[in-house]
Amino acid sequence: MERENLFDGKVALVTGAGRGIGRAEALAFARLGARVVVNDLARGDPPAADLVVEEIRDLGGEAIAASGSVSRAEEAERIVAIAVAAFGRLDFLVNNAGFGRMAPIWDLSEKDWNAVIAVNLTGTFLMCRAAAWAMREQDSGVIINTASEAAHGDTSFSAYMAAKAGVVGLTRGIARDLMRDAIRCNAVTPRAFDTGQTNVAAWESLGAFHDRYGVAMGSPHPMGPIPGTSAEVAEIVAWLCSDRAAAITGRLIVAGCGEVGVWEEPALAHSLIDERGWTVDRLDAVADVLIADAANPFLDLPAEAWAEIDGRHRARLKQGERARAVEAG
């Protein structure tokens, strides 16, 4: 099948598609022949989703906007209903809507915690639930959820980490629930440095940190060899929706910076068995074996490394403050 006709007759719904990675995903599906439903909040004049719809139509594609917050059940259901009413089916759902709030745990407000969980985790759940009804009717479909390598470890980002780790667990559960209906569900950890939230300088900084100290700053895995772009992430997401990726479900995929990969499923590093059951004394006797490779590499970082980490997060905190100011009008 020719690339341009890969998704002929298919319908894709992308949330948070008014800008950044979501916009790139919507455009990629359109270029591959899919009809596209562009979701985002109804902000701006005209709203960002409407502008993306215009871009798709200028490319000769077919698209509609479906504004609304994915964090509310009635709106999530309405967004999916709009897609099915307009195009008669729903083949691909890409849950891209999300945002973060930075703060160390002692300064993280309950309001910010709830907001981050509501959009990133609850919103993903609500959209998946609504889409599952439509996809089960047709015995086919692909769901791609957006996780983050931040879920593996970062500082001053605990709400976002918890939400994205939850997305990974949710993805595994959904894949098992829907596999008998021929519906696949995977999650991606996108790497894009052209979104306005981050840039090439950030990619260079992360690479330099790994080269200098031997550990990645915000993930157990270093960035790839080139600065990732939204377009590259979108290509990987589109491929995951294609029949060539039909064997992949319930997995977490690295996407971007010149790299694509599949994370291993959770597995014990090692374990010890004692048929008598474990006690404090017995655990103490095997402690050297049990914790032999359980050390945290960040504990041994020098002061200058922590200064770099703190500097990065101060900059991101200021960025978050600016975002709040914009939201407040």
Catalytic amino acids?
Answer: 160
∠ Cα 315 167 317 (to 5°): 10
Residues ≥6 apart with Cβ < 8 Å to 128: 93, 95, 143, 145, 170, 174, 185
What does DSSP say about strands 259-262 and 252-256: parallel, antiparallel, or unpaired? antiparallel
Is 263 buried (19+), middle (13-18) or exposed (0-12) by CB count in 10 A?
middle
Cα–Cα dist 185/177, whole Å: 10
Cα–Cα dist 50/31, whole Å: 17
Cα–Cα dist 322/282, whole Å: 53
Q: How far from each other are the two terminal CA atoms of the chain, in whole angstroms?
A: 48
Give the 3-state secondary structure of residue 13: strand
Q: Give whole-number Cα distances, 137 to 19, 103, 132, 152, 243, in Å.
A: 31, 43, 8, 36, 19
Q: Which two tokens stand for residue 99?
A: 């945002």
Nearest one of 322, 320, 311, 325 to 202, comparing CA atoms:
311
Q: Give one DSSP letter per residue of 111-160, joined into a string.
A: HHHHHHHIIIIIHHHHHHHHHHHHHHHHT-EEEEEE--GGGG--SSBHHH
Residue 236 near residue 256 (C-beta atoms within 8 A)? yes
